[in-house]
Amino acid sequence: MKEALLFIALVSAFTSYCQQAEIIVVDSLNGGHYIDFESDSDGNLYLLNQYNTFSKITLSGELLASDTYNCGFVCRFTDAEVAQDGTVYFTSDTDGLFRRESDNTLTNILDERISSVAIDNNGIVAVLGNAPSANFIFQVFENDVWTEYTTENTPFESSWTYDLQVDANNTFWIAGQDGLFSFKDGVFQNYTTEQIYNIRPNSNGDLTVAYGSESIGIIKSGESSVDKIPWQEATGNFATLNKYGTLYITDGEDVFIRKNDVWTEYDLDDIGATGFIGRQMYIDDGGNVFYSLDGESVIYYWESQLVDVKGISLKEEVELYPNPAVSNLIISTDKDISAISIYNQYGSLVDQRSANDSEIVLDVTEYTNGIYLIKVITSEGIGTKTFAISH
């Protein structure tokens, strides 16, 4: 049975542009308690929970596949990564690095204590040691050979590392007690000596780093300096800058969004959500941002898009049904519709047509499953709403 979906539109209209934020709550999907998110080139989302269950869903919440793995008597996965060729890697802080084979079995390729894994577009695999029990800081797997890095052959003075990511330029980034370091072609570069807790790259090659309770840092692609943004509201925060330049920060109870230097706060209690946002925040190539709640079987998905909007928001006057749609979507307003435009979850225009009626029946049989935004133009202004396709 497909999981129940809750759609809550959080729409803000501007004079020339409109940014859409949408939350999808997927409830009780294989026990919840998610510790990692990943996505693939088709826009599907992968979820790893604390019970070693690895699930694949569409952005509309449809469960495509789910498997539970046993890698050892006390093994619990801590991270997952999906390579471009579809190969999945799992890390365990007790049993090492595992690769999922084509027959769905697991092969242990590194028997060490590992906290996280990252894979670049060339298939190079990097892992972080689980400090302080691991005997190394960082290892790289290239051409079937592991290269180990410790405090003896790196700029690191401490083995305490907290996060590992890879950006769109195939540069690995390591955050830890000694600060922030990049690694590419065997060379380390230090960007700050201040303690960094987490890193989030986006598809533009930009990097967002969190210093904990004091500030957020942004490194634009190709630059070497960190642009610090003081942040006094959040503690233990996680932050990410999506490809549109929108900054997301969470303090566990609220989500703060900065667009064009204007901050907007979304209180989870006000939108009917319960729980506490955990340590996981993930951003995919479409600029979509995902959150998990500790101890709660829900996922929060925030979609950010820029849509050209001029005029008055008509969001309360536009009706879309059925939603999710399977074969036809009906668009209805009190005024005659002159035109509609439809965008996918990546902000790309997928359909556009003229009209002269207050109700339009749209054939969506050729649409792929996922979340879409529709812009409806009438003589009174412009309405924007989101809908889902679930064939």
pLDDT digits (tens, 9 = 90+) for 156-186: 888 888 899 999 899 999 998 899 999 999 9
Dihedral, CA of residue 330, residue 333, residue 338 and residue 340, to nearest 10: -50
Query: Is the distance from CB of 376 to CB of 331 less than 8 angstroms?
Result: yes
Preceding peptide of 230 cis, ω within 30°: no
Residue 72 predicted with pLDDT over 50? yes
Using an 8 Å Cβ cutoff, are 330 and 318 in contact? Answer: no
Q: Alpha helices, DSSP H only, in 239-350?
A: none
Q: CA 310, CA 296: separation in Å to the nearest integer?
A: 40
Please report, for the chain, how many H helices and E strands are present, in that order. 0, 35
Global pTM value: 0.70
Residue 9, pLDDT > 70, answer no
CA distances from 334 to 12, 344, 382, 383, 387 (A): 21, 25, 13, 12, 19
d(CA 86, CA 102): 10
Q: What is the mean pLDDT of residues 133-146?
A: 89
pLDDT digits (tens, 9 = 90+) for 260-314: 777 777 666 554 455 555 556 677 666 666 666 554 445 554 444 333 333 334 4
Contacting residues for 35 by C-beta, under 8 A, at least 6 apart: 48, 49, 50, 77, 78, 79, 278, 280, 292
Distance CA 295, CA 31 (A): 10
Give the list of residues 6+ apart from residue 127 with CB closer than 8 angstroms, or none: 91, 97, 110, 112, 114, 116, 117, 118, 138, 139, 141, 164
> Rg (Cα) of the chain, in Å, rounded?
22
Ordered structural domains, the chain, with CATH:
25-307 (2.130.10.10), 311-389 (2.60.40.10)
